[in-house]
Amino acid sequence: MDSNLVQVYRTAEDYRRYTPENVSRRRALTSFYRKYRRYFGRRVLDLACGGGVLGIVLEPSDRSYLGIDANPDMIREARKAAKARGSRQEFVRGDICRARIAGRFDTVTLLGNSLAHINLREMDELLRRRAENVHPGSTFIIDYRDLVGMFWRGTWSRVKVQSHVRGKVTHRTRLVNLEEGRLHMRARPASGAWVLDWAHAIWSPYILESIMRSHGYRWVRRSALRPSSGTRAIPEHYVEVYRLSS
């Protein structure tokens, strides 16, 4: 994992938002699971698992769960929470695109807009590597921002200023690199004490469906993500379900 990205979640973001101590995150994933429950199999691989909150949600259903994340802060918090509960959940620190993972899973998830950290080339690598972890009929559940749609509707500017970390944090787009499929961003808090560079990958439904189909996945469902804090679905944030063809 890029060391800058670790710093993003310590400064411009707050990694604790993705850990079990965040009640709203637990509620959001509980609601998410209820809505998409029929797509979850017995064995679940949670890519970019953060603090393992999905594992907590799945545990009462007696599903087996393995979470992997490159962020040491999140894996530390996930393991600590699991130990405190006497949980059987497993957590691995590693690069989700390259790490070797033993076993095959009925469901693979990539949630929390983690796709923002992976461009098309890296997603291709991820799907090639994870081919050894799935079987015909396995489902792949992903949520992400439709940046192409946000550019068209002019709504990208809404996410450039955030207020959930130590006051207001401004994220500005420095460069749009269409060859890489990334936005190069710069983050700065209101104090102006530091400047942090990071990147946000460009995705849209037609881009994601194309790469998934090229790896044998069939599109099953697409819906706008409904936030836990309100009733209106977000038109530029989607959840997609794919199934690996036989």
In CATH, what is the architecture of 3-147+202-244?
Answer: 3-Layer(aba) Sandwich (3.40)
pLDDT at 244 over 60: yes
pLDDT at 228 over 60: no
Kindly report the pTM of this predicted structure: 0.92
pLDDT tier for residue 3 given thresholds of 50, 70 and 90: low
Distance of CA 59 to the CA centre of its chain: 20
pLDDT at 191 over 80: no
For 18-137, where are the alpha helices, taking DSSP H only? Answer: 23-36, 53-58, 72-85, 120-130
Contacts of 215 (CB under 8 A, 6+ apart): 124, 127, 128, 131
End-to-end alpha-carbon separation of the chain, Å?
A: 33
Contacts of 191 (CB under 8 A, 6+ apart): 167
Please state, for a pLDDT cut of 70, what percent of the chain lies above it: 91
Task: Using alpha carbons, select from 21, 68, 20 the residue that is nearest to residue 44.
Answer: 68
Summarised one tens digit per residue, pLDDT across range 71-106 is 999 999 999 999 998 888 999 999 999 999 999 999
Please state, in angstroms and rounded to a whole number, the distance separating the CA atoms of residues 7 and 47: 20
Query: Any idea where the domains of the chain sit in the sequence?
Result: 3-147+202-244
pLDDT at 8 over 60: yes
Triad 73, 76, 159: Cα angle to 5°: 35
pLDDT tier for residue 187 given thresholds of 50, 70 and 90: confident
Which pair of tokens denotes residue 212?
Answer: 């998934």
Which pair of tokens denotes residue 23?
Answer: 């009640």
